[in-house]
Amino acid sequence: MVVGNVNATEMCDSVVIGGGPGGYVAAIRLAQLGQDVILIDKRPTLGGVCLNEGCIPSKALIHAAEVFEQMNHASTMGLELDGSVKVNMDKLQDWKSGIIKRLTGGVASLEKGNGVRIIQGVAAFRSPKQLEVIGADDRVQMVDFDNVIIATGSVPLELPPIPVDGDFVIGSTEALDLREVPEHMVVIGGGYIGLELGTVYCKLGAKVTIVELQDQLLGGQLEPEITRVLNRRTKKLGMSVLLKHKAKSATPGKLVVEDTEGNTKDIKADKVLISIGRRPYSDGLGLDKAGLATDDYGFLAVDIERRTSVPHIFAIGDITGQPMLAHKAYREAKVAAEVIAGHPSAYDVRCVPAVMFTDPEIATVGLTEAQAKEAGYDVKIGVFPWKASGRAMSLGATEGLSKIVYDVETERILGVHIAGAHAAELIAEGALALELDAFLDDLAHTIHPHPTLSETVLEAAEIALGSCAHFQSSNR
């Protein structure tokens, strides 16, 4: 129902709902292909959760915490600091905010430079080819279009017994804006977001406890070798981990948790961070008026062109299902835009890499060893431990490994999994190998620069082939 004052109706070839990684890229690509485009976002700044309160700010804090930890241990390399190293959270937050401002401002400039019209407000369908957009001042802007891309992203899951109050109980958004390091922080959820932020504040001086309902961190989806590396490092950092525990209640100063046998215990807490996952942002879009319906989890079904069941309505990013990753949305954005503009395109990727900026970093692409066996492959592996890498030693980063999963009969690479410093940068080689349907010898015969961490992937392939000169292994 239209409320407030109504502006004149805007018309365009294509409209994009949501200015996050998928949405802003889709708008730019549509404009590049000659479309008259409107981009709608509820925020005053573009970039969505990723740029404003997710990927970018979290990685800034992760880097700062890593530098802080390295400074505190620099004496092992003969670098002695005169006096203690201190954290100035106000300056740290200002530095982080400066990065966000530059990036979001850059996105806005790119949109305008490509001729994209931007409307700030909350959009909802009134019909399959019309949107109403309610702005901050309650003014309503009607938008008529030929095609639309839904790129609304996702929002954090809530934990009903322990609602976020923004002060004692916080979400990831508030955790990224803290102006003081809490003495005791409890993180509910042992997924990658909770682990990343928990590690940040642990390194900055907080006593951190992770409470996880499952029996493993990160959902138990990792290779067991990588899980062991993560567990060792978490313990070394001084983080406490309570597996198979659920949070029952929170009152200022403490969190009550319960184990599988019903026993409860109190955990001291100055801040409780809720980080139990995310759900698609599909509520309030008026999808029924567009002829659309989500599944039980709030996701929209799409085909390889990213079309929904209504041919002129496309959807990309988190709202289309797992994996809910910005780089997946980037690719989907370009596919949808190109299809709308009449160019042949399809989302036909073989793999989507996943990265976790924990300590150590974890990156994975393709099948795990267990998944490959379940798929019917006769599987073997090649694992190279970073303790044998000269570059890892020189970085003081020997806690890690590179693992390749491959099919015995063909020696085709099925998966690449890395734990260690800069794993997120290294995994692209594995993704390319899978996209190109590469074999072990493709990696093993590719000369990698020395001394680098990228050599660990080469060495893992050589271990699988039985030709590794730098580590004796029984993998074959």
Quote the pLDDT of residue 5.
57
Q: Does residue 161 surpass a pLDDT of 60? A: yes
Query: How is domain 10-156+279-340 classified at the CATH fold level?
Result: FAD/NAD(P)-binding domain (3.50.50)
Q: Is pLDDT at 194 greater than 60 in this prediction? A: yes
> For residue 73, what pLDDT band results from cuts at 50, 70 and 90?
confident
Residue-wise pLDDT tens digits, 78-128: 988 887 889 999 999 999 999 999 999 999 999 999 999 999 999 999 999
What's the mean pLDDT when you consider all of the chain? 95
Task: Report the C-alpha gap between 10 and 39 in whole angstroms.
Answer: 12
Task: Quote the pLDDT of residue 138.
Answer: 87
The DSSP-derived string for 58-71 is HHHHHHHHHHHHHH
Residues in the chain: 476
pLDDT exceeds 60 at position 75: yes
Pairwise CA distance, residues 131 & 35, whole Å? 18
| Catalytic pick among 312, 327, 450, 470 | 450
Task: Assess whether pLDDT exceeds 80 at residue 425.
Answer: yes
Q: Is the pLDDT of residue 3 over 80?
A: no
Q: Are strands 271-274 and 169-170 parallel, antiparallel or unpaired?
A: parallel
pLDDT, position 1: 36
For the packed helices 89-113 and 55-72, what is the interaxial angle rounded to 10 degrees? 140
Contact call for residues 375 and 337 (beta carbons, < 8 A): no
Name the least confident of 6-10, 304-308, 442-446, 447-451. Answer: 6-10
Give residue 28's pLDDT.
98
Rounded to 5°, angle at Cα 451 from 447 and 457: 55
**Contacts with 124 (C-beta within 8 Å, 6 or more apart), sequence order:** 131, 132, 134, 284, 285, 286, 289
Neighbour-count burial for 410-441, b at 16+ CB within 10 Å, e otherwise: ebbbbbbbbbbbbbbebbebbbebbeeebbbe
- Could you tell me the pLDDT band of residue 6, with boundaries at 50, 70 and 90? low
Q: Which of 147, 164, 155, 157 is nearest to 282 (CA)?
A: 155
Predicted pLDDT at 221 = 83
Q: 354-465 is classed in which CATH architecture?
A: 2-Layer Sandwich (3.30)
Percent of the chain past pLDDT 70, that is, above it, reads 98
- The β-bridge partners of 220 are none
Q: Where is pLDDT greater, at 444 or 74?
A: 444
Q: Are the C-beta atoms of residues 52 and 186 closer than 8 Å to each other?
A: no
pLDDT at residue 8 is higher than 90: no
Q: What is the pLDDT of residue 85?
A: 87
Nearby residues of 17 by Cβ (< 8 Å), 6 or more positions away: 23, 40, 123, 131, 148, 149, 150, 151, 152, 285
E-strand spans in 159-292? 169-170, 184-188, 207-212, 240-243, 245-251, 253-259, 264-269, 271-274, 278-280
pLDDT digits (tens, 9 = 90+) for 305-353: 999 999 999 999 999 999 999 999 999 999 999 999 999 999 999 999 9
343 among known catalytic residues: no
Amino acid (1-letter code) at residue 104 = T
User: Averaged over 34-63, what is the pLDDT?
Assistant: 96
**pLDDT band at residue 463 under the 50/70/90 scheme:** very high
What is the Cα–Cα distance from 200 to 182, expressed in whole angstroms? 12
Mean pLDDT (whole number) for 446-472: 94
From CA 371, how far away is CA 364, in angstroms rounded? 13
| Per-residue pLDDT, 220 | 79
- Give the pLDDT confidence of 115-127 residue by residue, as tens digits: 999 999 999 999 9
Task: Report the distance separating Cα 325 and Cα 20, nearest Å.
Answer: 11
Domain edges within the chain? 10-156+279-340, 169-276, 354-465
Residue 469 has what pLDDT?
86
Task: Please report, as a single letter, which amino acid is at residue 110.
Answer: L
pLDDT the model gives residue 323: 95
Q: Got the DSSP string for 78-135?
A: T---SS-----HHHHHHHHHHHHHHHHHHHHHHHHHTT-EEEESEEEEEETTEEEEE-
> Can 10-156+279-340 and 169-276 be said to share one CATH topology?
yes
DSSP secondary structure letter of residue 449 = P
Q: CATH code for 169-276? A: 3.50.50.60
Residue 475, pLDDT above cutoff 60: no
Q: Helix 326-340 vs helix 21-32: angle between axes, to the nearest 10 degrees? A: 30
pLDDT in tens, 124-154: 999 999 999 999 888 999 999 999 999 999 9
The model's pLDDT over 267-316, given as tens digits with 9 standing for 90+, comes to 999 999 999 999 999 999 999 999 999 999 999 999 999 999 999 999 99
Please report, for residues 62, 174, 197, 279, 292, the alpha-carbon distance to residue 358 in angstroms, rounded to integers and kept in the order given.
8, 19, 9, 22, 38
Rounded average pLDDT over 173-178: 97
28-39 mean pLDDT: 98
CA distances from 232 to 203, 221, 330, 387, 393 (A): 15, 17, 34, 14, 18
